[in-house]
Every structure is written in C-alpha cells, then in structure tokens.
A and B are shown apart, each in its own frame.
Chain A
Amino acid sequence: MRDYLPAVLVVVAFALHLAGERRATARTGRPRGRRARRRALAFYAGLLAILVALTGPIDALSGRLFWVQMIQRLLVLTVAAPLIAFSRPWISLWRPFPPWVRRPVAQAIARSPFWAPIRWLFRALAGPPGAWLAFSINLLFWHLPGPFDLALRDSWVHFLEYSSFLLFGIFFWTVVTGSSRAASRFSRERRIGYLGTAMVTNVGVSIFLAFAQHPLYAPYAGLARRPGGISALADQQIGAGVMWAAGDVPFAIVLALLVHQWLAAHEATMVRLGGLPPDATVLATGPPLDTPLAARPPRAVSLKTTAATGGQARRRDGCSEPPTTWPADYSL
C-alpha cells in the first residue's frame, strides 16, 4: 500500500485539478485563458515529476544506490516543487468539492480561533524568511545520518520526509517565483539574492558530502554489492556530485529567468514613466528639451516629484542628437 501511496495521491490530485478546471470553465462559460492553461500544464508536469521520482525504476534503484536517491530528492525539491508552486493549483484543486463542504471548511480555517496557531504557522512559513529557513533547515535535517537512515527504514517516515520536501519546497518556490500575492510584493532583486543564498546551502551540503572520507549513511554503507560494483564511498561522492552539478541546474535556470524578468520589468517601468523612476526627483522644470537654447526663458530651479510635474514625465523624446561627424583634421 505504502509503495502506491505517491501514485494514488498524484492520480487523485490530477483528477481533482482536471475537475476543478472543468468547473471553472463551466462557471464562466469561457475556455481557460493561455496563462491558466500554462499553469495547468506546469502542475501536471510537476505531478509527473513526482510520479517519476517516487514510483518506478528510480524508486526501485534508490534503495540500492545513494546517488539515485539524490536524483529522487532533486526531482521533488527542484523540479516538482517549483512547477507546482508556479502553477498555484490550489483553487482548482479545491473547486470540485461541493459548496456545503467548502464553505464551512474554509470559514473554519480562515476564521475559527481554533485554527489560529495553524494560520500563524502558515504565515510564518510562507513568508520569505520563514520559507527560506524552513527549506534550508529541512534539507539539512534530512541529510543528517540519523533521520536519513530512519527514513530508509520506516516507510511512513519516508513519506513524511518527501511530504516535507514538497511542502517546504512549495513555500520556498512560491516566494521565488512570486506566485502568491504576498510573494509577488517581494521585489525581484531580493528574490535573486534569496535564490542565490539557497543555492549556497545546496552547494554547501553537497561539498560536505563530497569531501567526507567515509560513507555516512548506514543503509547504503551496509549493502554488500551495488550496481556497477562501485564502492560505498564512490557512490556517496557521485551522489554529492549529482546534488552539486545537477542540483544547480534548476536553480540556475530559475535564476536566469528571474534576472531576465527583472531587467525586462525595469525597462517596461522606465518606458511607461517616460524615462524616470517612480521616486525620481526632477531637479528642474522648464520648457521641453527640443526648444532651442536661445528661446528658453530663464527658469527657476525647484524640487518636485514626478507626479506633480505630470507633463515632464510624459515627455516624448523627439530630439535626436545626430551622430558626431568625423573630424576632418584627424591626424594620420
């Protein structure tokens, strides 16, 4: 039963999401827009990643090879979690339930004083500092030999482990991708630093594993034989390398996307504001720039914000300076 639990949950989530999407379409009468479809696809891809990671050959091999377990974790932490976080499937997953189930549950969770500690915990863990700490500490925790070995021995602890990866991963990646309203208020520059420091944690753990001089995890060390005939230490080092190199790739891709979005957003803001940042202090008012010098009256210098000088902010740059002509007497 426990082996099929991930598959069952994935199928249930898939079914719920499909039903939710169909309900949304039925309710509005219009087909889902492009963005919603993209998010739905992202969600299904995330579910697929979970399925690939936790069932099938990867799961089978992960009991025998440490580095395959690393791949399993990476798939959940850095592939499935960001995809699911980006897709924000929560409404669609909730929609299939009938209103007489949804309303009391939602009201209880949102308002009941009984659930107040859970609400507080959620807000703490979903906010930027909490999400980062939870993600990193959780990652570190499950790499400690004690919990690691326990998860391999007891399948419920194993389930708890991967649920925690998924849960804290979703919190973390929600902040990074700006998926929730609160997260999207977290500026992009900060998100870049946020993601960068999380990469450092990942690399730090993998460096630690890479340079350990003997196998740290008893279940793998105790195996008599591994596929490929590699030693336990080599297995561990390959796993560290996988975590290091392959683990960096999803982080790097998301980082690249964030940098691209950040620069593009900056540029769009600049264009929209007619060239000045929202908090700029225009240092002088005066006639438009393409007025010839002689025609300009002397002007007073004053400090005003962009909002007050609406005209300035919307100036179009009609004056184009011709390229400098080549000086005729350039020395040879």
Chain B
Amino acid sequence: MHGLVMIATTIIMLSAAFGNYFVPIMIGANDMAFPRLNALSFWTLFAAIPVLLSAVGLGGFPTGWTGYAPLADQAAVGMDAYCMTIVLFALSVAFSAVNIFVTVLTMRAPGLSLTRLPVFVWSVVLSTLLGLLVFPAFTAAVLLTLLDRCFGTSFYLASLGGNNFVYEQLFWFMGHPEVYVILLPAVGAICEVITVFARKPLWGYRLVVGAMIGIFVLSVTVWMHHLYWSGANTPLDTPIMLDTELISIPTGLIFFALLGTLWRGRIRFEPPMLFAIAFGVNFLIGGVTGLYLADVPTDTQFHGDMFVVAHFHFTLVGGVVFGFLAALYYWFPKMTGRQLDRRLGQWHFWLFEIGFLGVFIPLFYAGWEGEPRWQAFVAPQFATANLISSLFAIPIIASVAVLGYNILVSWRSGVPAEANQWGGRTLEWMLPSPVPLVNFDRPVVVLAGPYDYGMGGPRLMGQPVTAGAAVDAAPASSMHPAEASRADRARYGTLLLVLSWTMFGLAIYSAYIYLHALNTAGQFRPSSEHVPSTVGTVLITVAAVLGAAVWTWGRIGKRGADDPRVRIGVTAGWLITLAGLAGSLVIFATLNYPAPVNAFGSSMELFVFFHAWHLIIALVIGGMVLGRLYRGRLAGREYTIECVGYWLWYTAALAVVMAVLTLALS
C-alpha cells in the first residue's frame, strides 16, 4: 500500500501539480489546450483515491505494489480495488499527457522555439509522453487479472494454458520507464532551480535535452533487468545489462550539465538550492548503487535485499522528493503570493536530509550483509542497523511537521512575495505573484533563450516587466494565436490517444502471442469450440474497413458541410460501424461464457471485447458529430469528422492486423 501510494504520488506531484500550473505559463499560453480534459484528468485521479483506500477495508492486496499473478488471481476483493485504481490512474495519466503534449506543441508564444523551452517544460513533456506510451501495458496486465478474477478467463492460470510470466513482462515493461516518468520532472525542476540560484545560464542546454530524449528512448528497452531472478535465466540477461549501463550515460550527462552550471556561479544557499544540492548528493548515491543492481553478478547478491530498498529510496525520495521540495520552495511565492519562511525552510531541509541519510544508509549496510526485504521479522544480526534506521525516522517526522507549519503559517500571514524575488528568467517570473487566473493579459513575444542572463529575456508585449511596475494597458490583441490552431490541437490530441490505445492493443496482443509461444502444456488450444465464429470475425473486419473508407469518402475537405456527399458518407459510415458492433455481439453470443475457458479462448474473448469497445467509442463520438452535422452546427468544427476518421481507420487497421495474425498463428 505504501509502495503504490508513494509511486502514484511521485508521478503526479511534479508533473501534474507544477506541470499543470507552470507549463502553460512557461510557454506563454493562458491555459492548457484542453481545459475540460484537464479537469477530467484531475477528477479521474481524485476518484482513484477512494478506490485505492477501499482496499484497506476489503482485505487488502497481498501482492504488494507489483500485483503479481497468480497470487493476484486468488486474492480477496481488495485486489479488484487495486486493479481498478490502476485503470483509473492510467487514464488520468494518459489524459494529462495528451493535454500537456498538445499544449506545448501548439500553444507556444511566438519566438518560443523548442530550443528555447525551459528544461522543466521539456522534462514534463517527455515524462508524460513516456507515461502515455507505457502505462497501457500495465493497464493491460491488470485488466487480464481482472478478467481472470471476475470473468473466468485463464490468462495467468497454468492449468488452463496461461502463464504468469506474461504479467511480469507486461508489468516491468511499464515498471522501468515508470521510474523515469517519475524522475524526469524532478530533474527538470532541479535544473531550473540550480540555474536561478547559481545565477548562471544552464550549461549544456542541448546536452540536457538530448540526454532526456536519450533516457526516454532507452528506458523502454531495458525492463528485463527486473527479471534477472524471475526464473527465466536466459542469455538475454547480458545484452539487457549492457543496455542498462548505457542508460546511465545520459543520466550522467545531465549531472555534468548541473555541475557545469554550478561552476563559477554565484551561488545563493536559499532553501530551494539546499534541496537541489542534496538532490545531487542523494541521486548520485542512488544512481551508483543502481549500477550494482544493473549488473547481473552483483545483483545475484543483492536481489531481494534491503540494498534494493535503499537504492530506490535514494533515487525516489532522495532524488524526486527532494526535487519536489526544491520546486515547492522555489514556486510557492509565485503560486500563493507569500514567501515561505527561510529559517523554517532551513530547519526542514537539515532535519530531512540528515534523517533521510540516517534512515537509508544503514539499510545499504543491512542489505550488504544479507537482510532480505518483504519480511517483518528482523534477524538479530541486522537489529542494530534497523534500530539506527528507525531512530532516524524521527528527524524526518519532525521535518514534515516543520514543513506543514511553514506552509500553513506562511500562506496565511507570510511576507508578501514580489513578482520575481529569486531573479528567475523564465516567463512565470514576469507575472505578478500570485498568478492571475488569466495568465497573460496580453500576448507574449519571446526574443531570447530562457537562461540568457543580461541579454534580453522574454518580453510582455514590448516591455520588460520589473516587480511591481505599473504597466500601461495596451489593448489585448483580438486573436490569440492559439485559437487559430484549434483544429490542429484536436488532430494532435486524437493522434496521441490513438498512439496510447495502440500501445494497449500491442500489449494484449503480445500477451496472446507470448502465451502461444509458451504453450508447453498443450493446453492452449484443445478444441475448435473456442475459436470465434468466422461470420462474426469477417463482419467486424469488413465493417471496420468499409466504415472507415466510407467515412473518409464523406469527409468535408474542400466541400462545404452542406454537400450531400458529406451527409451520405458520414451517415453510412456510422451505420456500417453499427453493423460491425452487431457482429461483435454475435461473436460474443456464441462464446462459451461464463464457463471457465482456457487461455486461447480467453484471448479470443478479450479481442472481441477490445474490438467492440473500439466500435462503441467510434459510435459515440461519431454519433455526436452526426448530431452536429444534422443540426447544421458543424461550422468551424469540420476537423471533428477528420478526427473520427482517424479513429475509424485505426480500428480498421487493428481489425485487419489482428485477423491476419490470429489466422497466421492458429
């Protein structure tokens, strides 16, 4: 429970909280690209909280945060709560990612090229994009668990041809990139803080951005280093080990950039900077110990030890939480208009850092000596280390109390903050504190990089804004650039959602192929009764392709929305899609639900549901577009027909690919 709550918290605390607040400001936009989607993303997350906490009352989940099958299949009801939490959480992340990515892509101020984006914006974009791509695999794994538990399928039951190793692969395919999803925004925030408090431009901007992109790309290839001791024991361990060591290079490059920024800077040791430097120390320790775990020989010693626990706490707490606290102290004045008390901040920092080091360094020792994790009983030889570790939790508790007090008191009656007390150069420091609801009351033009000290920074409509200066009110331009690209935003958003959904489809399809490959017991396909009816399959596939083609034929393009071809094409496409849904229901009716079914049958049922779900989404959105079309209210929204077309083509491609590959494999 602690694990899952902490992981969810570390994912959202920087990119959701500060990302949502500051990414639009940092790029000169007034809001995110999809404000209502933003709200949906928040409320989905909000809904996930009671679902997760309900697990406590429902018997808990015995698997720990990883939710491994087959224990997951056999557990009490709390496991369902775990699964639903994951589904809601993944949805929230996906919505957020689409929003942030499209915002940064389409709503930047004129002059703000991608090479002038503050590093924090880069880090949030890459982090959420990575989350968008890999969380569907986790959703798929958890969905299969749910199906096993509630619908009698057997994806993870060996006796019926399933295999729990599928869960582990899918889980860690998400699990490793996830730690970079967690880490990247923290690194971005630290870059911002160090730049401002060393009073020097960021050294190696391109290096940092390139390193982040490198981390993004490499992190999805190395998940199998979590599976060294899963029992597979394949020769793949060595190449994975090499790739994992390769990832440490971009991370190290970012470190060098931070050191280069500090070099010959005029450092001010305010609380944000204290946390930033502690980030450097802690993450260095965490990262280096990670190398020990990446290498197979040393991992032999340390797998399942407290060494692993200490490693990831150093990176997640020592790295990410410290990054979060640095960002909190840095941006609190901007968000609330009040300064946090400096002396209390120093107390918080020292209590936390000393407590944190004291808690986790003895655990390195304990792990070295062999203390296993996941065990309540502490053997006598580890008692001293664990005692020291527990005692140092007291300073941590005290530090949290100090922080809470600081926030409460400062928010109510702290010293009012000026617009730019730290001397930052990014766009948020050009606005008053707290930031008004409409971020910028006039358009922004950016003329130089975000860290070009003394060489002319961003300008608000032609005037350098100093703290508290009365700026003469130039009339705001009638057309904000963002409105011109609403269609673009919708298109990019649809494409990103399709991408995320593709990853989900890939995940469940890979699970099927993998189960097929692992078919050692011969249980995978005993008889033909589990093969879905051919009529239904053909109906789905043909309907999907035909529907997409007809819908595209009827798209507006250069014709007006009143052209009869548009009405015919769009309506016919919708009806054909409806026929396809009927086809999937036909298939479903002929399946042998709810009797327990072997792994092959389970896969076929899943694919039918998957297709049906695609078609339902297409019908709902298509129906909304159709309604607008017939009411004559499509003006200015012609792109919606296009977007539904994307979705339909995607459905069609999926149907064809799945049909072909299923036939080929069977």
Residues on A lying within 8 angstroms of B by beta carbon are: 196, 199, 203, 207-208, 210-213, 230, 234, 237-238, 240-242, 244-246, 248-249, 252, 255-256, 259-260, 263-264, 266-267, 269-270, 274-277, 280-284, 286, 289, 293, 299, 301, 303, 315, 317-324, 327, 329-332
A223 smallest CB distance to B (angstroms): 17
How far is A69 from B518 in the complex, measured between Cα atoms in Å? 26
Contact A252 B445 (CB under 8 A): no
Interface residues contributed by chain B, number (CB under 8 Å): 64
Contact A321 B466 (CB under 8 A): yes
Contact B477 A283 (CB under 8 A): yes
- Cβ of B472: which chain A residues have Cβ within 8 Å of it? 293
Contact A327 B114 (CB under 8 A): no
Whether B210 is near chain A, meaning CB under 8 Å from some CB there, is yes
Contact B209 A263 (CB under 8 A): yes
- Cβ of A259: which chain B residues have Cβ within 8 Å of it? 209-210, 213
Contact B448 A275 (CB under 8 A): yes
5 A-B residue contacts at CB 8 Å? A242-B239, A244-B236, A280-B445, A283-B443, A319-B456
Whether B446 is near chain A, meaning CB under 8 Å from some CB there, is yes
- Among B200-255, those with CB < 8 Å from A are 206, 209-210, 213-214, 217-218, 221, 234-236, 238-240, 242-243, 246
A246 smallest CB distance to B (angstroms): 7
Contact B206 A320 (CB under 8 A): no
Do A255 and B421 contact each other (CB < 8 Å), given the known contacts A263-B210, A289-B462, A289-B463? no
Contact A301 B113 (CB under 8 A): no
How far is A203 from B240 in the complex, measured between Cα atoms in Å? 12
How far is A315 from B463 in the complex, measured between Cα atoms in Å? 14
Contact B110 A238 (CB under 8 A): no
Q: Which 7 A-B pairs have the closest CB atoms?
A: A317-B456, A245-B239, A241-B239, A275-B447, A280-B110, A266-B115, A324-B423
> Quick one: closest A residue to B471, CB to CB?
A293
Whether B528 is near chain A, meaning CB under 8 Å from some CB there, is no
Whether B176 is near chain A, meaning CB under 8 Å from some CB there, is no
- Cβ of B235: which chain A residues have Cβ within 8 Å of it? 230, 234, 237-238, 241
Neighbour of A248 across the interface among B221, B447, B457, B462, CB < 8 A: B221
How far is A246 from B234 in the complex, measured between Cα atoms in Å? 17
Neighbour of A301 across the interface among B238, B421, B475, CB < 8 A: B475
> Quick one: closest A residue to B463, CB to CB?
A293
How far is A318 from B111 in the complex, measured between Cα atoms in Å? 17
Do A266 and B239 contact each other (CB < 8 Å), given the known contacts A275-B446, A276-B445, A323-B423? no
How far is A203 from B448 in the complex, measured between Cα atoms in Å? 40
- Cβ of A199: which chain B residues have Cβ within 8 Å of it? 217
How far is A252 from B218 in the complex, measured between Cα atoms in Å? 8
Contact A263 B456 (CB under 8 A): no
Contact A244 B415 (CB under 8 A): no
Neighbour of B342 across the interface among A274, A276, A321, A332, CB < 8 A: A332
- Cβ of A203: which chain B residues have Cβ within 8 Å of it? 221
- Cβ of A301: which chain B residues have Cβ within 8 Å of it? 474-475, 477
Whether B418 is near chain A, meaning CB under 8 Å from some CB there, is yes
Contact A283 B239 (CB under 8 A): no
- Cβ of A280: which chain B residues have Cβ within 8 Å of it? 110-111, 445
